[in-house]
Amino acid sequence: MTMTENDRLLLNAYVDGELDSAHLLEFERRLADDSALADERARIEALRGAMRERLPRETASPALRRRVAALARPRPFATNWRAGWAAMAASVAVAFAAGSLATFVAIGPGNREPVSELLVASHMRAMMASQTVDVASSDRHTVKPWFNGKLPQSPRVVDLAAQGFPLVGGRIDVIGRTPAPTLVYRIRQHVISLTALPASLRASGAIRPIDGYNVVEWTDGPLAYWAVSDLAAPELGNFAKAFRAGAAEP
Amino acid sequence: MDRGDSRTRFANVVIPHLDDAYGLARWVTGNRADAEDVVQEACLRAFRGIGGFTGGNGRAWVLTIVRNAAYDWLRKNRSPTVVHVDDLEAVERMHLTDDATPAGDNPEAALIARADEAKLEAAIASLPAVFRETLVLRDVQGLDYREIATITGVPMGTVMSRLARARGRVIAMLGADK
């Protein structure tokens, strides 16, 4: 029996699992009767198998990966990527090996997740949304009352514009099952998410950068503050210092 | 969208598909050094255009840009006879059954199944660009017909016929190889 062009298309679609159920049944019946069709099917399957098994999976070289990643980084790293990365890695090691506590929180029965992981995810989600905040204001007297109406405990809102970190606004993240107030600050092109969580949500261990985001944590009375940003670690450290100094004032 | 947001989106949307991007560029251009240039150019375009990505299939979005960058590169760097993207009618019209292998000899399937990497590569590389990219997107990168139609900018029916032709030709080459 000769194979028509249409038969060939159907056969290929069949092998690829792209035939809809209406055609599938009829085609399988024909396949059982038509040896030419069955032979061609065997050849197509053989080709697919050989390609799958024998062709090497292409991977981008580390050099290419670095060049492309540089596009996604702020200018200083883009111009001198290697040096920038090494310096950042070193400073991260120094800043974070010293004493932060990595934290785990029970999110649900039998499900333990590092808090920093959840916070980075929240930060990333906010960055991908059209707005990083639910209340947009650089005035702390606007942002703080907004939280008051929604959460039992509102965080300190510190004006850090003079220190180079203007307030962008605030939003509420849900970390595990805990609704948490998050303040958003900005420096140059970087966004900092500062989330306040109960201080009880802490455990031992070091906080590591996650997917290029740095995380800094400190406690203030009943609250633990977590800052997440793609800002370089020393600068994020400066932000934390400025916030704590500002929060200490009456 | 400001630059900080663009960077984050770029990191989330484009970078995860870098291997796929490179794989496609490598098959379209035919060599690794050119593929790197193409991917770098494509990533630059993706970075500039990230604001236009409205969500959904990030991989298809990235591969579409890579494909376009690869063909632009080919147009600039190769003789026009190698690339037929603008004048596909003739290729598309070629009678499919011309590529057909004689029916009834299953030993051929065994021969195809045993084809080594070099033979496979050579056979695929000898395909016209649009057949090659369709075959690679399907059987190397595992995309479905709809995704391939999106990336290559043609109807599903065209994807189906290109794929059937591409496979038919490679089968004929490998099957005839003694």
Would the ipTM clear 0.95, i.e. be above it? no
> Which residues sit opposite A104 in a β-bridge?
A114
Nearest CA in chain B to A65: B18
Q: Give pLDDT tens digits along chain B (178 positions).
A: 566 778 888 988 999 999 999 999 999 998 888 999 999 999 999 988 888 888 888 999 999 999 999 999 888 887 554 544 444 555 555 444 444 444 445 778 888 888 888 999 999 999 998 999 999 999 998 999 999 999 999 999 999 999 999 999 999 999 875 5
Chain A interface includes B160 (CB < 8 A):
yes
Chain B interface includes A190 (CB < 8 A):
yes
Residues of A in contact with B19 (CB under 8 A): 57-60
Q: What is the DSSP string of A51-109?
A: HHHHSPPP---HHHHHHHHHHTS-HHHHHTHHHHHHHHHHHHHHHHHTT----EEEEET
CA B78 to chain A, closest CA, distance in angstroms equals 23
Chain B interface includes A39 (CB < 8 A):
yes
Secondary structure class of B13 (helix, strand, coil) = helix
Which tokens belong to B69? 């960058």
> Which residues sit opposite A114 in a β-bridge?
A104
Are residues B95 and B53 located together in one domain of the fold?
no
Are residues B54 and B127 located together in one domain of the fold?
no
Residues of A in contact with B170 (CB under 8 A): 47
Instruction: Find the domain containing B49 and state its range.
Output: 3-77
By the 8 A CB rule, do A170 and A136 touch?
no
Compute CA A245 distance to the chain's CA centroid, rounded to the nearest angstrom: 30
User: Could you tell me the CA-to-CA distances from B137 to A55, A72, B23, B159 in Å, in that order?
Assistant: 13, 26, 9, 10
Nearest to B19 among A54, A58, A189 (CB): A58
Instruction: Find the domain containing A25 and state its range.
Output: 5-54
Are residues A85 and A105 located together in one domain of the fold?
no
Are residues B44 and B102 located together in one domain of the fold?
no
Which tokens belong to A161? 């514009």
∠ CA A5-A11-A17, rounded to 5°: 140
Is B16 within the bounds of a domain?
Answer: yes
Are residues A32 and A152 located together in one domain of the fold?
no
**A88-107 tens-digit pLDDT:** 555 444 444 333 333 334 33
Residues of B in contact with A36 (CB under 8 A): 103-104
Are residues A151 and A227 located together in one domain of the fold?
yes
CA B69 to chain A, closest CA, distance in angstroms equals 15
